């Protein structure tokens, strides 16, 4: 599925739409250049999942867990990591549990170690506040609702 948004609010709304298809244990990988709208997308998804706390990029903390309506939501940002080799082996497991819905920004360094990925989202600048968003559902999951 591909779409284009015109505003940060539209990017957040796209995240909210995706969130309606997620269940505890699901993980979404979110990729894109700096400033492409990854956190705005995740923020919209978090709001749709019942998170009321401020949702900001966890670049310097690696991850944050928020209380959601039906499940906690984990939000990770692996931008600062060059790899997982020197990290605690349980780093991802501490956040991405079967009871939580997870979002991972900058997932490339950890993608091979991330289980239960149901969607891969790519955001691209399209000029001004416009963004192109591509969603690839794993194994066709979520496609019927798209």
Cα–Cα distance for residue pair 121/58, rounded to 1 Å? 18
Q: Choose among 126, 146, 121: nearest CA to 4.
A: 126
pLDDT at 88: 53
pLDDT at 92: 84
Residue 33 has φ and ψ, to the nearest 5°, of: -65, 170
pLDDT at 20: 96
Tokens of 36: 């492409």
pTM: 0.89
DSSP one-letter code for 59: T
Q: pLDDT digits over 86-122, tens only?
A: 655 567 888 999 999 999 998 888 777 788 999 999 9
Q: Is the pLDDT of residue 146 over 50?
A: no
pLDDT at 57: 84
pLDDT at 145: 40
Tokens of 41: 């997308």
Assigned superfamily of 2-139: P-loop containing nucleotide triphosphate hydrolases (3.40.50.300)
Q: Residue 144: how many CB atoms within 10 A of its CB? A: 8
Tokens of 11: 């990017």
Q: Quick one: average pLDDT of 77-93?
A: 68
Q: pLDDT digits over 8-42, tens only?
A: 999 999 999 999 999 999 999 999 999 999 999 99
pLDDT at 82: 62
Q: What are the helix (H) ranges across the chain?
A: 8-19, 38-48, 91-95
SS3 at position 133: strand
| Per-residue confidence band for 144, with pLDDT thresholds at 50, 70 and 90 | very low
Give me the chain's average pLDDT, please: 88
Cα–Cα distance for residue pair 44/15, rounded to 1 Å? 5
């Amino acid at each position: 599925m591909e779409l284009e948004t015109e505003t940060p609010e539209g990017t957040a709304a796209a995240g909210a739409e995706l969130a309606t298809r997620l269940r505890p244990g699901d993980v979404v990988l979110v990729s894109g250049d700096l400033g492409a709208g990854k956190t705005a997308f995740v923020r919209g998804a978090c709001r749709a999942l019942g998170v009321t706390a401020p949702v900001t990029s966890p670049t310097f903390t690696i991850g944050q867990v928020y209380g959601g309506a039906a499940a906690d939501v984990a939000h990770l940002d692996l931008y600062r990591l060059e790899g997982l080799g020197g990290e605690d082996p349980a780093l991802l497991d501490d956040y991405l549990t079967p009871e939580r819905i997870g979002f991972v920004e900058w997932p490339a360094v950890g993608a091979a170690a991330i289980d239960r990925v149901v969607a891969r989202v790519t955001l691209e600048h399209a000029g001004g506040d416009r963004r192109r968003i591509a969603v690839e559902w794993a194994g066709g999951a979520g496609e019927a609702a798209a």
